[in-house]
């Protein structure tokens, strides 16, 4: 790994037919750093995440994961990455413990069943061990996704809307456990979320994307001070207003 950088993206570009989803994005994340990608729908957040994970092949730019740049080398690095999305389903005909044990084996655990149980205990959901995946509520599926992503002590944790569908008290518990994991294990965190309170509590640094480009990148306090705002929600609304004005002006100029 180059220094303490776990993820380095340079000039990332991706088009879907006539739509440019990502247009020259640069991102670097250090070990233990907690970073949030925020922006409106269609800003390029999910495409950026999926490019990091190798699920999307970009049209240009480079992705270096744990010091590995080539696609073949990054496959081995992915064993040290955890990913969860608040909207992914679970296999309906596997019990929760079976599902997590399978992933623990894929992560290379020597005691996969015990590792799976430890992950369930960490997030206080060990009572779900024998439940079928298809019988879980959306919030329970979200919780199991987080357990799956964290139980192998990843060097990089990538979370897409990590507390979607969770009750406020459960979401607070999940954020607390995630922060503890990052601090104890030096795990780097990259999240996307439309919940600005969640971003404020989890992230040290915020990257605002608009139309596939990085508009702002820095510590929340610095960005808020520069824009004269008191909260991330106010920052978001201010930046969104500015980008909407630019989009309207560009549309008018091209018509």
* pLDDT at 1 (0 to 100): 42
* pLDDT at 244 (0 to 100): 66
Question: For residue 95, what is the DSSP state?
Answer: B
Greatest C-alpha distance within the chain = 62
The two beta strands, 213-219 and 205-210, are antiparallel
Q: Give the span between the Cα atoms of 140 and 128, in whole angstroms.
A: 8
Q: Where are the domains of the chain?
A: 5-254
The pTM assigned to this predicted structure is 0.89
* pLDDT at 253 (0 to 100): 43
* pLDDT at 246 (0 to 100): 52
Sign of the C-alpha dihedral, residues 129, 130, 134, 140? negative
Question: How many angstroms separate the Cα of 93 from the Cα of each of 103, 114, 119, 145, 146?
Answer: 15, 21, 21, 16, 20
Q: Mean pLDDT per segment of 10 residues, for the chain of length 255 residues?
A: 79 94 95 94 91 92 88 79 89 96 93 96 96 95 96 94 90 94 94 91 94 92 87 85 59 44
Q: Which CATH superfamily is domain 5-254 in?
A: P-loop containing nucleotide triphosphate hydrolases (3.40.50.300)
Beta bridge partners of 64: 8
Q: Where are the beta strands (DSSP E) in the chain?
A: 5-16, 19-30, 34-38, 60-65, 81-85, 156-160, 188-192, 205-210, 213-219
Q: Give the span between the Cα atoms of 202 and 46, in whole angstroms.
A: 18
Q: Give the span between the Cα atoms of 173 and 117, in whole angstroms.
A: 18
């Amino acid at each position: 790994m180059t220094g303490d950088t776990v993820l380095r993206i340079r000039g990332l570009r991706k088009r879907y037919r006539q739509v440019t989803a990502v247009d020259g994005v640069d991102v670097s994340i250090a070990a233990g750093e907690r970073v949030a990608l925020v922006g409106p729908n269609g800003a390029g957040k999910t495409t950026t995440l999926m490019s990091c994970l190798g699920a999307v092949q970009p049209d240009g730019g480079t992705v270096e994961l744990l010091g590995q740049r080539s696609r073949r080398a990054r496959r081995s690095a992915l064993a040290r990455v955890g990913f969860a999305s608040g909207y992914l389903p679970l296999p309906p005909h596997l019990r929760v413990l079976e599902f997590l044990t399978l992933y623990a084996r894929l992560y290379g655990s020597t005691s996969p069943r015990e590792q799976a149980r430890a992950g369930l205990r960490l997030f206080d959901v060990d009572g779900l061990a024998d439940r079928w995946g298809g019988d879980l509520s959306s919030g329970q599926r979200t919780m199991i996704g987080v357990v799956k992503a964290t139980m192998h002590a990843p060097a990089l944790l990538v979370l897409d809307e990590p507390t979607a569908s969770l009750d406020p008290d459960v979401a607070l518990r999940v954020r607390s456990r995630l922060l503890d994991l990052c601090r104890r294990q030096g795990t780097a965190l990259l999240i996307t979320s439309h919940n600005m309170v969640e971003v404020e509590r989890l992230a040290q640094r915020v990257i605002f994307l608009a139309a596939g480009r990085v508009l702002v990148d820095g510590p929340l306090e610095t960005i808020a001070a520069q824009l004269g705002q008191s909260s991330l929600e106010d920052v978001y609304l201010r930046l969104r207003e500015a980008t909407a004005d630019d989009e309207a002006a560009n549309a008018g100029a091209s018509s």
